[in-house]
Structure 1
Amino acid sequence: MSDRVLLSQAHVTELEEEYVLRALRSGWVAPLGPEVDAFEAEVAARVGDGGEMGALALASGTAALHLALEGMGARPGRCVVLPSMTFAASANAVAYTGAEPVFVDSGDDANVSPALLVEAVDTLLDEGVDIAAVMTVDLFGRACDYAAIAPALAERGIPLLEDAAEALGATTAGGAAGSFGRAAALSFNGNKIMTTSGGGMLLSSDPELLARARYLSTQARRPVPWYEHTEIGYNYRLSNILAALGRAQLVRLDDMIARRRAIRAYYADLVDGFDGVRILGRAPGGPDGATGDEGDNCWLTCLVIDGPGCTTDGLGPDGLGPDALIARFGEAGIEARHLWKPMHLQPVFADSRAFLDGTSERLFGSGITLPSGSALTDAEVERVGGVLQSALSASRERRAQP
């Protein structure tokens, strides 16, 4: 058996080695330094498209969410509205502040349903619930429908926090992922579209929010000649060496996105013609060649089996579903995973309020993530495709039998 094919492995080249070695030789080995300053400026310029956006490099995307929520006034007695289908870090950051999470179901692309989100906000406001913020999550590299969400929240005076941890490099009508709302968070974890090993960034055009976050992220140290603290702070800043790695990755970001898009196109061509199987969030190609995912960064390509017999327990046509496919991939030395388990189904958030229509639970029961990393070789991608095509063909043959 050859080496295991991973879902989204970090893609590192000699350019990253060059940048990290330069940082090491500079003597700036401790946290902060010139690489951090440059990394912040470069990411802010990329996402903000030359605007007044500022950036704060941090130890994780979770830290960015936590500090943004603190700056928006999340605290006990208030709530934060956010999608149910997301990674736990989104909801955990709310819990760190003491605010109550309120979960909202998905649209068919797995991102939060704009209509249900607005309904949830209006219901809470009518009940007199104090909403600190709404957090959106750009899942699997696809930006939410901000043309519908942002104006509705602005009309109601509710701050928007964009969790763009999975979506750096993605775009949608009106701007780049990470540019919406009062603040946004990025993640540079080892499996993301680009990495600093671990790390994240807070983005905002609000200088007061950024200044407050910067202060808290360095242990809330007061600007006096000795160590003095009047508040509890956090050790949340990014190291200079890891920022150097991030700068090199940012240089290569567009190429890495292009590779992931090519991998998604391969999978899409492979499943085309199999009834009840689709690529999550990908619209059929139109006469102009558009596929519906040109704005996505294609961080992870997700397969949804929602044909005849598909139910929330993961059964697809003739028993083909996430569990069976993941097991088959595993036997072939290929990593595949379920979609995010919705937060309203997580035991730790079982008592939290939720506005649901069943969509996220259905997607969880019918979807898997496929190996999507830009470091994958053609041979590895074809190996994944061979296992997938074999499984789908066998299912189709079973359905054709009398």
Structure 2
Amino acid sequence: MTAKVAKKRIFLSSPHMSDAGYEQQFVQEAFDTNWIAPLGENVNQFEIELAAKVGSENAAALSSGTAAIHLALKAAGVGEGDIVFCPSLTFSATANPIIYQNATPVFIDSDYKTWNMSPEALERALEKYPEVKAVIVVHLYGLSADMDRIMEVCKKHNVVVIEDAAESLGTYYKGKHTGTIGDYGIFSFNGNKIITTSGGGMLVSDNEDAIKKTRFWATQSRDPARHYQHSELGYNYRMSNIVAGIGRGQLKVLDERVKKKRYIYEFYKKELGKLEGVSFMPANEWDEPNYWLSSITLNGKIRPNEIIERLEAENIESRPVWKPMHLQPYFEKYDYVGGQVSENLFENGICLPSDTKMTDDDLIRVTEVIKQCFI
């Protein structure tokens, strides 16, 4: 009896090293110079190169995007009892650092135009909580938020803006990189992001003093003394020289990855756009997304779980849209300002496989499985 051959796994978004081996070259350099850890030239150059790529004055390479949000909040002066606004439709890593600082999150609804923080809901929240200390804006799935309106409202109230651009490296808002419009921007290099260092993040800002301070905090707040002296609470948040070497190599292929993500999105739109009840994530004239994850919503009799399960049966990975924070067991005790948009996107949304290693045959395989659900 012949054993059944398993179908090739198609991933949602997996690491994709460069064909030219840029990553190995920088990592080998770290080995050759014996700068394995803690810091080194790769870390220094990755900060410089990433900052130059996105158009920011300064950058600090950290152990994760979560660490970057945490230190951005600390740099913004957020402390115990302070209120921080956060979109509800996001991953928990956006909200968790608010709790690390013993602050209080208030969750804000999205709008259908951007899938990101609603400027109208933000204004209502500011009327309710004029004492808010900071606003975290997320650029979900590589779609930029309506930053002009958000920045206008926040500047009027003198509120610090932190951009969670973990999913949007390579996305432009009106010709400017997301993550460089607010006071602080954060990027993630987790394994599923558009470029990866296996793990890691970056905090960027035009505020040089703030970035210097975050590097200090991230290195256990060690004072410049001959002995080990600590006058402030510190964290072990710095990126390693090996990880930074991978990041330097990945940064060289960012534009290629964005191009492939856009190709995947256009392929899906052409093949699935006419199916009954299928809508794609929004496009705006001021937005040049990186299309990190191609996502759709379903507004007919076919439900998301049906498609997700059919895809999984064919060894194809997909997932629901983020479950809003105000519906999460841990965060449901905190206030929420808005309506039903984030809940509706969660209930009706699917993130389709968007792996940059996918071939046309892989894309055809995915779309054929989805089309079968509508027959």
Match of 1:300 among 293, 304, 317: 293
Please list the CA deviations of residues 282-304 of structure 1 after superposition, one character each: whole Å capped at 9, or x if unmatched: 36xxxxxxxx6960001000111
Question: Pairwise mapping of residues 2-401 of structure 1 onto structure 2 (< 5 A)?
Answer: 2-13=7-18, 14-48=21-55, 53-108=57-112, 109-125=114-130, 130-173=131-174, 175-282=176-283, 295-306=288-299, 317-318=300-301, 320-392=302-374, 394=375
Q: CA RMSD in A?
A: 1.3
Write the distance in 1 (CA, Å) between the matches of 2:296 and 2:283.
10
Please list the CA deviations of residues 37-89 of structure 1 after superposition, one character each: whole Å capped at 9, or x if unmatched: 000001111111xx6x1000000000000000011111112110010000000
User: Aligned pair count?
Assistant: 367
Contact 1:147 1:174 survives alignment (8 Å): no
Unaligned runs of 5+ in 2: 1-5
Contact 2:295 2:351 survives alignment (8 Å): yes
Unaligned runs of 5+ in 1: 284-291, 307-316, 395-402
TM-score normalised to structure 1 length: 0.89
- % same residue: 40
Residue 347 of structure 1: SS of its match in structure 2? coil
Write the distance in 2 (CA, Å) between the matches of 1:216 and 1:294.
34
Write the distance in 1 (CA, Å) between the matches of 2:353 and 2:38.
33
Residue 228 of structure 1: SS of its match in structure 2? coil
Write the distance in 2 (CA, Å) between the matches of 1:218 and 1:104.
33
Task: Output the amino acid matched with 2:357.
Answer: A
Q: How many angstroms does 1:174 deviate by?
A: 5.5
Q: How many angstroms does 1:324 deviate by?
A: 0.7
Write the distance in 1 (CA, Å) between the matches of 2:306 and 2:172.
34
Going from structure 1 to structure 2, the CA distance change for 1:65 and 1:339 (only over 3 Å counts) comes to: same
Q: How many angstroms does 1:110 deviate by?
A: 1.7
Q: How many angstroms does 1:15 deviate by?
A: 2.5
Contact 2:143 2:287 survives alignment (8 Å): no
Q: How many angstroms does 1:378 deviate by?
A: 2.1
Task: Output the amino acid matched with 1:167.
Answer: S
Residue 131 of structure 1: SS of its match in structure 2? coil
Residue 46 of structure 1: SS of its match in structure 2? helix
Runs of 4 or more, structure 1, over 4 Å off, are none
Task: Output the amino acid matched with 2:103.
Answer: A
TM-score normalised to structure 2 length: 0.95
Q: How many angstroms does 1:207 deviate by?
A: 1.7
Contact 1:10 1:194 survives alignment (8 Å): yes
Write the distance in 2 (CA, Å) between the matches of 1:136 and 1:246.
24
